[in-house]
Amino acid sequence: DRICCWQQHLVPNLMSPPLTYGELCKKHSDVVCVCRYLDAYLKDFLTSAESHFMPGLRVVYYVFTDSPERVPKIQLGPQRSIVIMKVEKHKRWQDISMMRMKTISNIIESHIRHQARYVFCMDVDQIFVGRFGSEALGDSVALMHSFFYHSPKFMYTYDRNPNSVAFMEKGDLYYHAAVFGGKWENVQHLAESCYLGIMTDKRNQVEALWHDESHLNKYFWIHKPSKVLSPEYCWATEVGYRRDLHFPRLVWAEKQYGILRT
């Protein structure tokens, strides 16, 4: 394993899928997957998750949607369940993206903290193609963005507006907001902190460059994650072949912005 300068654990991208680690976690690791609902992707996301996400562990999928009646029926395996949460409808996709932080914090407080130790928050415009298992669990888990993991730091798209709470002059890595997780109390703290930053920006008529992702990067700059997942845990195929990535686990689905961002 490689250890970064602040003693965080990096799940290496050369690691073969573990066969026994999940067995060590079965008795004490319940996982909640919080999904930001997109009608065009949810069925493929959940179907592939049933094959690859946290095999052998009890998993509860929380799906956020403003149209619960449109959630597809999925055949779930043993120790798997789904909870559909209706949320407020927003006109702009940017507001959907940012306001999920409040929803995540609220649902952890009202439900998740009473039933699970770990939470993973994921966009559903992704498809599982390999094991995404208990090796990814940790106190505070972040994901290296596949577009930036080999890029020089000056190319990282941090928010550079000093009027925004998300403003960053420098950072260590660029993290992707499509996947983050950890123990429920740490995820709740992250979500609350990002939401407070977003609302402060709104009061000041400011919007961070990449919305909740900008605030998430600021949070992980101040509160270092205990584990960083390699880009194979959320890979963009358009990046192309990379010889140091051998085991993709989750890949971006083809974007349908014409449908989704209207």
Q: Which residues are catalytically annotated?
A: 213
The span from the CA of 83 to the CA of 30, in Å, is: 15
Query: Quick check: 74 and 45 in contact, CB under 8 A?
Result: no
Give the H or E element holding residue 84. Answer: strand 80-86
**Sole residue written with tokens 């597809």:** 72
User: Which tokens sit at 57?
Assistant: 């562990």
Give the H or E element holding residue 21. Answer: helix 21-25
CA dihedral 184, 14, 25, 186 (to 10 degrees): -10
* 251-256, Cβ contacts within 8 angstroms, sequence gap of 24 or more: 251/126, 251/127, 251/129, 252/125, 252/126, 252/178, 253/41, 253/44, 253/45, 253/125, 253/126, 253/127, 255/125, 256/40
Q: Which residues contact 181 (CB under 8 A, 6 or more apart)?
A: 118, 119, 120, 121, 136, 137, 138, 141, 187
Cα-flanking dihedrals φ and ψ of residue 2, to 5°? -100, 140
Query: Quick check: 51 and 76 in contact, CB under 8 A?
Result: no
Angle of helix 93-110 relative to helix 184-203, nearest 10 degrees, comes to: 140
